[in-house]
Every structure is written in structure tokens, then in C-alpha cells.
Amino acid sequence: MLEIRRSDRGLELELTGEWRALRFGALDAALTTLDLGGARRVEISTNRLEVLDLSGAWLLHQFIKCTEAVGVEVTFKGGPPDQLRLVDQTLKGQIPVCTQQRPRVPLSLVDEIELPALRSLTLLGQHAVLYVRDLVSDLAFLGRMSVTAIRAITSWKRLRPISIARHVYDTGITAIPIVSLIAFLISVIIAYMSAQQLRNFGATVFVVDLVTIGVLRELGVLLTSIIVAGRSGSAFAAELGSMKLNEEVDALYATGVDPFEALILPRVFGLVIALPLLTIIADVIGLTGGALLCRFLLNMPLTQYVTRVQESITATTFWVGIVKAPIFAMLIAMAGCYRGMQVRDSSRELGRLTTLAVVQAIFLVIFADAVFAVLFLEMGI
Amino acid sequence: MIYPILEVIGLVNRFGTQLVHEGLNMEVREDEVFGIVGGSGTGKSVLLRSILGLQRPQAGIIRIDGRDITKMTTSQLYEVKARYGVTFQQGALYSALTVRQNVQLPMIEHVVMEPEARDELAMLKIRLAGLPADAAEKYPSQLSGGMIKRAALARALALDPRLLFLDEPTSGLDPISAAEFDELILYLQKELRLTVVMITHDLDTIFRTCNRVGVIVDRHMEVDTLEGIVNNPHPWIQAYFHGERARTRLERHGT
């Protein structure tokens, strides 16, 4: 691609073959390793060149610039190639620039501040302002949703029962296998662990109490919620987020349909219906798992297990667990929908906010569970 | 035997029972601007997707630079893909990357290059597409419609292809921006000796830029020069080029 001849007049470079972008690496190496050898003149000949594309021409342009900078004269045998002129023209900005432009929106105030100390202070202030702004928009979302919900429950049409049914199916019925499996495994783990410990005291019969109370009060609803947060919280955020990117949400607004009513409420209501039902299934499967383990590991007859279960539960045990489900459902659905509606501009935002939705949903569920635990303790249930 | 730069012979595309193309032939010659026209649902996009190797046709030969891409393995196709540039209808810029990074992506993928050289070459392409220098560090969501088309063009030109595919290059642009964009394509076509294949509905664009036009009618393609196609007796082509909308343009462009 590069033939070098030295003569007393200077250096003669003959370019051959294809000078195209796809061979950039080799061409660049050939030019940078070229030893001028103290020549005062370089003559470039392009007669045998098969292809010279813009990237190749740019390389040549750079080479000529560097060579001329050290005081070497560069000439072309038979005139410079057209492509070189195009590179020159483009770099000088002779291509008419697109007339239609958008006003510049500053991404961040901080980018324009030079001083490091001032910069970190500004960053702190900016985060504080953003945090407060976030809090306000959280509240606005909550308020808007409540208002829409109140309006919706007064009218059958606004409630969109078909849409709700779809979400009950998507978030509830399709989740039954995984929820059952997890509930079964968890109750087996509790029974197994506690059996090992209680055997030392000869109190293996209390394994039943542990499984029953543990699953009914806490683990059934908590684990179901965490699974649903992972499944449906992310689905809500991703669905709404891509609708936002597609301008589908704007289209709904423009049609006069309130996206809160058409998109968010059915999801929230759907999950509020589905999660308690899933919890009941998880409870049943959990107790079944406990029974199986007691039967085969502890050789406890099934009738004794049932009697023990009846003795260990009080009137409230089941309800204490199940009453938490709709609250958790609301938290999960709202975290998912809220973050989904915040997506704008790019697919990266979609990923970030979907992750955030799941993390927040799980955090909120566990936090609310802690609040419930304290509350029930104070109430003496 | 010398092959044309792009050649489609006997292309058949079928989805289920619906036949989209039935023995479609087209040939694109070097250094021309070839326009593809057709009603909605006549399979313009399917044709483009077939040519780009994004989907395999049921039958037919598609030759790019004389090599049949329908018989190629994935790795052979990979090499062909570095030889043509494409812009998609909505731009299809990667929204998480800046314009400069968008332009550099094909370079990173296909060429060994120093980062500094890549930066400067990307800037060269961005300027070549008529974008202001400060657009390089912007994200696609910060660009206007016309700038998105130009950024997509800059990305399509990243590897200096000889063959450039444009899918509806001027759709969604106002007439002034569309005219500017047509000018730019003509300028680049002349300077870079590009062969341009464009799908378009815009009669102005067709009359301003195209040397030859292929119209998809009845599952095959009628190919002719601009003058020839205007006088083609097929009813759809007559309606397209002699409709109310077209008549004023015909007069204006003096065809």
C-alpha cells in the first residue's frame, strides 16, 4: 500500500492498493513508522491507487500536516486527489450546517463551574434541591392517583374491569407456580432447621407452631410480595417506560384519556386483588410443606399435625398476615408505575428506573412489614 | 463477469400465505441514486431488510458487489455489512450514546484505530453531514428531527461505504429541511462517489435526487429512468406521478 523510493531529490511515496477505512490500522501504522530520513522534499504519487476513501484521505491529510510542520515540502505527482480537497473543505466547515436546531437545554448547572470547592458545594445544593423536588413529585403522584381512584370507583366504566382482569391474570395467575414453589421450600427449610434445634429439648412437636405461625403471619405474605415485586414491579416499570419512550402516553393524553385512569389504576387494582389471593395460596402450600416434612422427617401422624396447627393458631393469626397483602400490593404497583412514568429520552433511563422500581418496591415492602410488626405488637395481636 | 454494485434477481418473500414479492428484479448501477417507491404494504421495508441481510428471502438472489448474500454465513455477512451504510426511518440512533459515540460505534466494531484518530474522524463525519460541532456531545433526545437524520447519515458514513441505503430520508422534515437534506445527499453522492438506494414517498426528493426509480407494483418492480417511469402506463404509477399532488411538481421540475 506504500512504496518508498529514496533519491537525491528527496523521498518519493507511491500509494498503491486500497486506502479504505476498513484497513485503517495498517495504513496508519505504515505512515507513522515511515522514516523521512532527513529528506527535504516528499513527492506523493497516486496513480496506482485503486481506492481512496474519506478515512484514507484523512490519514493522508494528517500525514501531510505533520510532515509540513517539520519543514518538509510535500508535492503531488499529477495533482492532489479530490478526496483530499473534500477533507479540507469539510474541516474548514464549508458544508452548510443544518438550519433547524433546537435551543440548548443545560443538562446540569455544575458542568459550568470551574472551582473544585465551589463545585462540590453546588453539587450538594443541587442534590438537596433535586431531593426535595423528588419528594414533591412523589406526593403529587400519590395525590393524583388517589383522586383518580376516588373518581374511578364511582363509575363502572372508569374502573376498566377488563383491564383489571388482565392484570390479575398477568400478575396473579401466572405467578402461582413460582409462588407455590417458594412457599413450599421455605416452610420445608423452617421445619427442617427448627426440628434440628428443638430435638435437643425433646420439643419437636413445636416445629408445627413455628411453621404455622411463621408462614401465616410473616413469611407467606412477605416472600410472595418480594417475588411479585421482582416479577410485576419490573414489568410495570418496563411497560410504562417503553410506552413513554414511544410517546404512547402522550397519545393517550391527547385523546383525552387519563393515563392514570387507563394505565396505572388497573395495575394497582389488579395487584391489590391478586396479591392477597397469591398469599392464601402461599399459606396453603406452606402448611402442606410443613405437614409433609413432619410426616416423613419427624414421623408425626397427619392427624396430630392438624390438631397441633389448630391449637397454635388464634383467630387473628391468618388475618394478621393477609391484611398486609393489599398494602404491599399497592406499594409494589405504585413504585413500578411511578418509576415507569418517569422514563424519558433514552433506553438507559428505562433500565435505570426499572431497577430502581424493583429495589424500592422490595425496600418499601420490608419497611412496611417492620411497621406492621411494631403495630401488631403494640395492639397485642 | 462484471456485476452491478447491487443486484436482486427473482426475489420471493412470503409471510404465511401472503405473498409480498413474487420474482422481484432490480439492479443498481454504480454512482447513481436509485429511488424505491411503492404503496403502503407493498413490501418496501421487506425488500430493504432482505437486501441488508436482516431476513432471508424464500427464494432469489441478492448480490452486493457480485456476492450473493442469501447464501452467506453470518460471519461472511458481517464483512459485507461493513461495506454499506444504512439510515433508518426514525434515525435509530442509540439513545444512550452521544452523536459522536453513535458515529464511532461502527468504527470500534470494524476497524483498529487509535482513540484520538477515531475522535477526529468522527468529527469529520459529523461535519460532513452538516451538523454543527457542538452537536457531537449531544444525546439523540436533544436533537431536532433534521439533526437526527443528519446524525444517522454521519453514522452510516462512518466506514466510508460505497453503497448507502436511506429509508425515508426526508419523512417528518419540513420542506425546507427536506430540500437541504436532498442537497446534502446529492453533494455527498458526487464527492464521495456514493451509490445511493433510497426508499421514499417524497415526490420532491425523487425529482431532485433520483436518476432511476423502481416502483413496486403487483409484487414485482417496474424500473425505469425518471422520465420513463412517469410515462409508465400502470394505473398505480399513473396515479402516483400524475395525481393532484404530483402534477404541480412535474411542472415545476420540468419533466
Chain A residue nearest residue B151, CA to CA:
A98
Contact A98 B131 (CB under 8 A): yes
**Long-range contacts formed by A202-211: CB under 8 A, 24+ apart:** A204/A298, A204/A300, A205/A300, A205/A304, A205/A308, A207/A290, A207/A294, A207/A298, A208/A290, A208/A294, A208/A300, A208/A305, A208/A308, A208/A309, A208/A312, A209/A308, A209/A312, A211/A187, A211/A286, A211/A287, A211/A289, A211/A290
Location of C-alpha cell 476497524: B111
CA distance A373 to A375: 5
Task: Classify burial at B49, counting beta carbons within 10 Å of its beta carbon; exposed 0-12, middle 13-18, buried 19 or more.
Answer: middle
The Cα–Cα gap between A180 and A282 comes to: 6
Please tell me if residue B172 touches chain A, with a CB cutoff of 8 Å.
Answer: no
Cβ contact, residue pair B127, A55, below 8 Å: no
Determine how β-strand B6-15 pairs with β-strand B59-64.
antiparallel
Residues of chain B with Cβ-Cβ distance to A53 below 8 Å are: 160, 192
Check residue A242 and give its pLDDT: 93
Helix axes B175-192, B145-156, angle to 10 degrees: 10
Looking only at the bridges linking them, the beta strands covering A10-15 and A2-7 are antiparallel
Q: How many CB pairs under 8 A join A and B?
A: 105
- The mean-pLDDT minimum among A192-201, A361-370, B26-35, B78-87 falls in B78-87
- Within 8 A of A99 by CB-CB distance, chain B residues are 146, 176-177, 180
- Give me the amino acid identity at A12: E
At A117, the pLDDT band (50, 70, 90 cuts) reads confident
Q: pLDDT grade, residue A113 (50/70/90)?
A: low
Distance CA A227, CA A274 (A): 13
Task: Name the band, by pLDDT with cuts 50, 70 and 90, for residue A99.
Answer: low
Answer yes or no: pTM beyond 0.80: no
Among B96, B120, B174, the residue with its CB nearest the CB of A347 is: B96
Give the model confidence (pLDDT) of A157-193 as tens digits.
Answer: 788 888 999 999 999 999 999 999 999 999 999 999 9
Nearest to B112 among A24, A97, A347 (CB): A24
Nearest-CB residue to A105 (from B94, B131, B142):
B142
CA distances from residue B149 to A33, A186, B179, B186 in whole angstroms, order as listed: 39, 55, 13, 15
Using DSSP, state whether B88 is helix, strand or coil: strand
Selecting from A22, A25, A345 the residue whose C-beta is nearest the C-beta of B82 gives A22
All three cell numbers of B239: 396515479
Chain B CA closest to residue A246 = B90
- Nearest residue of B to residue A104 by CA position? B142
Contact A95 B130 (CB under 8 A): yes
- A236 vs A143, A242, B16, CA distance in Å? 20, 10, 33
Q: Name the 3-class secondary structure at A154.
A: coil
Supply the pLDDT for residue B94: 86
Contact A346 B141 (CB under 8 A): yes
119-158 in chain A: CB under 8 A from chain B: none
- pLDDT confidence of residue A269: 95
Nearest CA to A329 among A274, A262, A264, A263? A274
In the prediction, which pLDDT does A101 show?
Answer: 59
ipTM score for this prediction = 0.78
The residue ranking higher by pLDDT, A371 or A121, is: A371
What is chain B's mean pLDDT, rounded? 86
- Chain A positions in Cβ-Cβ contact with residue B144 (cut-off 8 Å): 98, 100-102
Place A104 in a pLDDT band, splitting at 50, 70 and 90: low
Lowest mean pLDDT among A92-96, A226-230, B81-85: A92-96
Interface test with A, best of B83, B98, B160 (most A CBs within 10 A): B160
Provide the pLDDT confidence category of residue A243 given band limits of 50, 70 and 90: very high
Nearest CA-CA distance, residue B139 and chain A, Å: 9
Over residues B94-105, the pLDDT tens digits come to 887 889 999 988
CB contact under 8 Å between B146 and A87, yes or no, is no
| pLDDT 10s digits, B182-215 | 999 998 898 888 999 999 888 888 888 898 999 9
Query: Is B108 an interface residue toward A (CB < 8 Å)?
Result: no
Q: Which three cell numbers stand for residue B158?
A: 462512518
- Within a 10 A sphere around the Cβ of A208, how many other Cβ atoms? 25
Question: All 3 cell numbers of residue A361?
Answer: 418496591
Cα(B169)–Cα(B189) distance, rounded to whole angstroms? 14
